[in-house]
Amino acid sequence: MKAFMVERYGDQDGVHSGEIPVPRVGADDVLVRIHAASVNPLDLRLRDGAFKAILPYRLPLVLGNDLAGVVVQVGSAVTRFTVGDEIYARPRKDRIGTFAELIALHQDDIAAAPTTLTMVEAASLPLVALTAWQALVERARVRPGQKVLIHAGSGGVGTIAVQLAKELGAEVAATASTTKIDLVRELGADIVVDYREQDFETVLDGYDVVLDTLGGETLQKSLRVLKPGGQVISIAGPPDGAFAREVGASVFLRLAMSALSHRIRRRARRHDVSYSFLFVRADGDQLREVTRLVDAGRIRPVVDRVFPFDRTLEALEYVEKGRAKAGKVVVEM
């Protein structure tokens, strides 16, 4: 089958299409014919080798971290799915590879795709929806009346996180560029800060939770808009020791991860707030909750552009150069 894979870490020149064997299907696995897969910044970070010390993939590595498709084969112990089911998923970290024609997934990582969405729309959701869920529901435990700030509210994670935070009853602020303000308001944000015109730390204060999708200076400033006891959860900042433990890293790597995040954690303590890094994991049960919200009309996907599968490299470049106007970029088989 055809797939797009990293043959050497570094940049776009290390990614090529090629033929690989059809995946083996274990007892708890389902084999899925992929109809669409979305492109995420995580794909670019994996391509560049950003996590190679922690996630020691063997090259060549097929890229792609979420998908929508149809079950074509089930393992002997599979009880939740049958051939013909339409599903969507974020594969677990050691089984990624959705830029391909087929993929084998553990049944626990899969959920029935929302019936109200096309395959392209469904494929845009798993990674970003799970990121928003694990940050706001699982880790922050956002409650009605709390104040939540979402950075890059028009981005892939941001568009879903704004809607989910609002669904949880929070007062939601988001940052966005001038041309995206109306979209982010339509998604439910109570306050939208135009980062081209205003510095968010001068107009926002007293927040319980910040979801940081940008890192760098934005992460540093986010500490100052939190109230005492607040927390910033980042998908773009330095990994921490907790993340290293989650992925089963060695003691040496745990210490190294702790060292990488030492400065931001120390600054967070000075502000009487906390910092944590989030690397989203596969979770079929959480995706079923997302499906419920989508089919009830509480959350909707935002798709920026769709590329045909044979132009996957172009789709990666499109995301890398920041050309997406809002939401997700998807490749369709």
For residue 161, give the CATH number of its domain.
3.40.50.720
Same domain assignment for residues 223 and 247:
yes
pLDDT of 327 above 70: yes
Q: CA nearest 159: which of 174, 142, 144? A: 174
Around Cβ 24, how many Cβ atoms within 10 Å? 9
What is the share, in percent, of the chain residues with pLDDT greater than 90? Answer: 88
285 belongs to a structural domain: no
3-state SS, residue 290: helix
Range of the domain at 312: 2-124+301-332
Looking at the fold, whether 105 and 174 belong to one and the same domain comes out as: no
CB 18 within 8 A of CB 2: yes
Q: Which CATH number is 118's domain given?
A: 3.90.180.10
Res 118: pLDDT = 98
pLDDT of residue 242: 76
User: In this structure, are 71 and 107 located in the same domain?
Assistant: yes
* Same domain (yes/no): 254, 235: yes
Domain match, 119 and 131 both = no
Question: Mean of the pLDDT values across residues 229-250?
Answer: 84
Mapping DSSP to helix (H, G, I), strand (E, B) and coil, where does residue 207 land? strand
Residue 282 lies in a domain: no
Q: How many other CB atoms are there within 10 angstroms of residue 65's CB atom?
A: 24
Q: Indicate if 114 and 157 belong to the same structural domain.
A: no
Same domain, 102 and 7: yes
Structural domains counted in the chain: 2
- Nearest C-alpha neighbor of 184 from the set 206, 217, 160: 160
Looking at residue 190, its pLDDT comes to 98
Q: Would you say 244 and 53 are in contact if contact means Cβ atoms under 8 Å apart?
A: no
**Residue 322 lies inside a defined structural domain of this protein:** yes
- 82 with 131, same domain: the answer is no
Q: Which has more pLDDT, 126 or 262?
A: 126
What are the pLDDT digits (tens) for 82-122?
Answer: 999 999 999 999 999 999 999 999 999 999 999 999 999 99
pLDDT of residue 249: 67
**Mean pLDDT of all residues in the chain?**
95
Tell whether 110 is covered by a domain: yes
% the chain with pLDDT above 70: 98
Structure tokens at 259: 């060292």
Whether the full predicted model's pTM is greater than 0.85, yes or no, is yes
Torsion of the alpha carbons at 10, 332, 236 and 231, rounded to the nearest 10 = -160
- If asked whether residues 113 and 133 sit together in one domain, one would say no
Asked if 224 contacts 201 with a C-beta cutoff of 8 angstroms, the reply is: yes
In a domain, 289, yes or no: no
Mean pLDDT across the stretch 301-319? 97
Same structural domain, 116 and 202: no
- Residue 328 located in a structural domain: yes
Mean pLDDT to the nearest integer, 142-158? 98
pLDDT confidence of residue 297: 97
